Amino acid sequence: MKLILKYTWRYKKYLLLSVLGVLGFVCIQMGLPTLLKYVINDALMGENRILLLQLVLIMLGVVIVGISGEICMSYANSRIASNVIRDIRSDIFIKTQSFSHGEYNEFSVSGLITSTTSDAYQIMLFVQNMLRSATITPIMTITGFVLIIKNNPQMLWTILATVPILLLGILFINLFSRRYSKAQQSGLDKINRILREGLSGLRVIRAFGNENFQEQRFSEVNDEYCIVSKKAFRLTALAQPGFYFLFNTIITLVIWFGSKAIGENTLDVGALSATIEYIFHILFSFLMLALLFTMYPRASVSAERIQRILDCDVMISENLEEGKTETRESGTIVFENVTFQYPDAEEPMLKNISFTVNKGETVAFIGSTGSGKSTLIQLIPRMYDINEGRILVDGIDVRDFNIKALRNRIGFIPQKAQLFTGTIADNLRLGNPKASQTEIEKAAQIAQASDFIEEKTYKYEEKLSEGGGNLSGGQKQRLAIARAIVKNPEIYIFDDSFSALDYATDLNLRTQLRKEITNATVLIVAQRVGTIRHADKIIVLDEGKIVAWGTHEELLKTSNIYYDIAISQLSEEELA
């Protein structure tokens, strides 16, 4: 509730407009029956035509004020609700941008999507109803009570007896529907997760003829969600007829006792008809409040989930204000006794890693799969923070950097090329929005991407589908490399980024890179010995430890692991 109020309170001007609108709305709801009483008792029964005309004109005025009030209220409420959902979504998005891999694992991508879409939507619905009911009900009740006491005090007991019953009913629903709401939202997370996996892995699923298994997985979580939703809807569906029953019983009782009072001449017709209207409006506003309370558990579960995301302490501090941005060195990397353990792992993945990379050097990492190569290079741009030791970039501990300044120095090309919806040029400009067309074309040429881009109908303005789905794996990797070149960083990190390229393209790309980016420091993770044999230094990793380092020629003599990898890939002549 704190979260909902915090976001709603930001729009005080609209809140004021909403309250003014409610006053107008109450004016019409309570004013008309009051005037009707005078119409019946004084104008009609007293056959006073002038009074009748005057009262009709006053009623018309009340209607105009009331309708204007209702328009103001609806306008203000919808503005507040739309702004609240926009603010919440944007805050979640900004927060998730600062998340490290650890937080993504904790909340799960599907959970974050559910919170940004469905949880935020639940809050919008609640805010819209809350703004209406939370102001209308108390104002309507107080005005109604005052008017009943004034006009027909003997009927006050009916409403006094009903309100506690209504409040009890609301409390009951609130208590029971909370756990269903929790289950509903976590069910939505599961649906989102399976849907994401199913859609993004559609080709693999088809290739393995796995459709039935996926359908079964989806229908299990879908059914689970359906069962919980049915229980939640049953509860609210039961509530509505209950409220209507109470509602109609009270009105019947009022008519019954009112008619008797008219027969005994202790009440007049106008007062009875006004009382029925007052009671109707009080009960109706309570009915709306009850509806709000049936929504509350779901909104409060959604608010809790959003609050958890917004309050989460990000493991990696970004140091945006106090972090260093300037350095004396450039293009150097030093690992000093680095030990790193994944947050949910039992043992350290990397143990006691030390090495130095000088400016302009090319250093490669090789080792069996799972030996920790990708983990090691991800520590440099601080995808994770280390547990022991130090990593220095340009002479500064990476944890002391302003994270943006640190990442600006690095062109990271991940194993899986990630492209975004937009044109090829948009994707290439990601690292440097100000890059000129010439710079983009030059980068594409170095990355061996210009040939296939030129073949496209719109060339650099060709639109890419989601994730670059209309490109081959090798084309995507070349664009990812070109994107890093456009950024012109002082350090390049290639995480097995050449794996989807054929041998000729791989060779041309590396030759061009060596020619064009002579000043930059380059780290390469690769499986192919051919890709890294010309590196200044090759580091061999095994089970998270450095087991050998040296040039290609040195390692062939000193490292059995390297020799075994090389012999499995190179011919006798290449080895000699």
Which residues lie closer than 8 Å to 449 by C-beta, 6 or more apart? 475, 478, 479, 481, 482
Q: Which of 129, 152, 371, 432 binds ligand ATP (CB under 6 A)?
A: 371
Q: How many residues does the chain have?
A: 576
Structure tokens at 563: 């020799």
Regarding 144 and contact with ligand ATP (CB under 6 A), the answer is: no
Q: What does DSSP say about strands 491-495 and 410-413: parallel, antiparallel, or unpaired?
A: parallel
Q: Is 265 exposed, middle or buried (0-12, 13-18, 19+ CB in 10 A)?
A: exposed
CA distances (Å), origin 457, targets 285, 364, 424: 62, 38, 12
Regarding 369 and contact with ligand ATP (CB under 6 A), the answer is: yes
Q: What are phi and psi of 387, to 5 degrees?
A: -95, -35
Q: Which CB atom, from 371 or from 432, has the smaller least distance to ligand ATP?
A: 371
Per CB under 6 A, the segment of 295-303, 365-373, 402-410, 476-484 that binds ligand ATP is 365-373
Per CB under 6 A, the segment of 201-209, 328-336, 339-347, 352-360 that binds ligand ATP is 339-347
DSSP assignments along 115-143, one per residue: IIIIIHHHHHHHHHHHHHHHHHHHHHHHH
Q: Which CB atom, from 144 or from 544, has the smaller least distance to ligand ATP?
A: 544
CA distances (Å), origin 438, targets 405, 480, 512: 25, 18, 17
Q: Give least dist CB 413 to ligand ATP, A.
A: 14
Q: Which CB atom, from 370 or from 395, has the smaller least distance to ligand ATP?
A: 370
Q: Which of 349, 406, 493, 565 binds ligand ATP (CB under 6 A)?
A: 349
Per CB under 6 A, the segment of 31-39, 210-218, 296-304, 373-381 that binds ligand ATP is 373-381
Q: Which CB atom, from 377 or from 556, has the smaller least distance to ligand ATP?
A: 377
Q: Which CB atom, from 265 or from 568, has the smaller least distance to ligand ATP?
A: 568
Q: Give least dist CB 101 to ligand ATP, A.
A: 6
Q: Give least dist CB 372 to ligand ATP, A.
A: 5
Is 465 in a helix, a strand, or coil?
Answer: coil
Regarding 373 and contact with ligand ATP (CB under 6 A), the answer is: yes
Please give the Cα distance from 426 to 430 (Å, whole number).
Answer: 6
Please give the Cα distance from 560 to 573 (Å, whole number).
Answer: 19
Please give the Cα distance from 366 to 527 (Å, whole number).
Answer: 6
Per CB under 6 A, the segment of 6-14, 170-178, 331-339, 364-372 that binds ligand ATP is 364-372
Q: Which CB atom, from 345 or from 504, has the smaller least distance to ligand ATP?
A: 345
Per CB under 6 A, the segment of 27-35, 125-133, 278-286, 337-345 that binds ligand ATP is 337-345
CA distances (Å), origin 560, targets 92, 374, 386, 542: 50, 22, 29, 12
Site mask for ligand ATP (CB under 6 A), range 516-535, x = bound:
--------------------
Structure tokens at 280: 């109707």
Please give the Cα distance from 445 to 516 (Å, whole number).
Answer: 11
Q: Give least dist CB 18 to ligand ATP, A.
A: 48
Q: Which of 24, 372, 474, 489 binds ligand ATP (CB under 6 A)?
A: 372
Please give the Cα distance from 30 to 534 (Å, whole number).
Answer: 88
Per CB under 6 A, the segment of 38-46, 71-79, 372-380, 436-444 that binds ligand ATP is 372-380
Q: Which CB atom, from 216 or from 568, has the smaller least distance to ligand ATP?
A: 568
Structure tokens at 261: 């009072």
Q: Which of 34, 210, 352, 375 binds ligand ATP (CB under 6 A)?
A: 375
Per CB under 6 A, the segment of 28-36, 63-71, 177-185, 368-376 that binds ligand ATP is 368-376
Per CB under 6 A, the segment of 158-166, 343-351, 394-402, 469-477 that binds ligand ATP is 343-351
Q: Which CB atom, from 372 or from 381, has the smaller least distance to ligand ATP?
A: 372
Regarding 342 and contact with ligand ATP (CB under 6 A), the answer is: yes
Give, rounded to a whole angstrom, the gap between the first and last alpha carbons of the chain: 73
Half-sphere exposure (Cβ direction) of 543: Cα atoms closer than 13 Å? 1
Site mask for ligand ATP (CB under 6 A), range 91-120, x = bound:
----------x-------------------
Per CB under 6 A, the segment of 149-157, 297-305, 366-374, 391-399 that binds ligand ATP is 366-374
| DSSP code, position 324 | B
Inter-residue contact 306 to 92 (CB < 8 Å): yes
Please give the Cα distance from 118 to 112 (Å, whole number).
Answer: 10
Residues in contact with ligand ATP, total (CB under 6 A)?
14
Q: Which CB atom, from 372 or from 489, has the smaller least distance to ligand ATP?
A: 372
What sign does the CA torsion over 226, 229, 231, 236 have?
negative
Is 516 in a helix, a strand, or coil?
Answer: helix
Q: Which CB atom, from 120 or from 357, has the smaller least distance to ligand ATP?
A: 357
DSSP assignments along 5-18, one per residue: HHHHHTTHHHHHHH
Degrees, nearest 5: CA angle 242-245-250: 130
Q: Which CB atom, from 24 or from 474, has the smaller least distance to ligand ATP?
A: 474
- Which parts of 475-514 interact with ligand ATP (CB under 6 A)? 496
Q: Which CB atom, from 49 or from 416, has the smaller least distance to ligand ATP?
A: 416
Place of tokens 């051919």: 530
Q: Give least dist CB 367 to ligand ATP, A.
A: 6
Site mask for ligand ATP (CB under 6 A), range 384-423, x = bound:
----------------------------------------
Q: Which of 273, 374, 488, 508 binds ligand ATP (CB under 6 A)?
A: 374
Convert 335-354 to b/e letters by CB count within 10 Å (16 or more is b). Answer: beebebbeeeeeebbbbebe
Q: Is 286 exposed, middle or buried (0-12, 13-18, 19+ CB in 10 A)?
A: buried
Q: Give least dist CB 369 to ligand ATP, A.
A: 3
Which of 485, 486, 523 lies closest to 358 in space, CA to CA?
Answer: 523
Q: Which CB atom, from 287 or from 539, has the smaller least distance to ligand ATP?
A: 539
Binding site for ligand ATP (CB under 6 A): 101, 342, 344-345, 349, 367, 369-375, 496
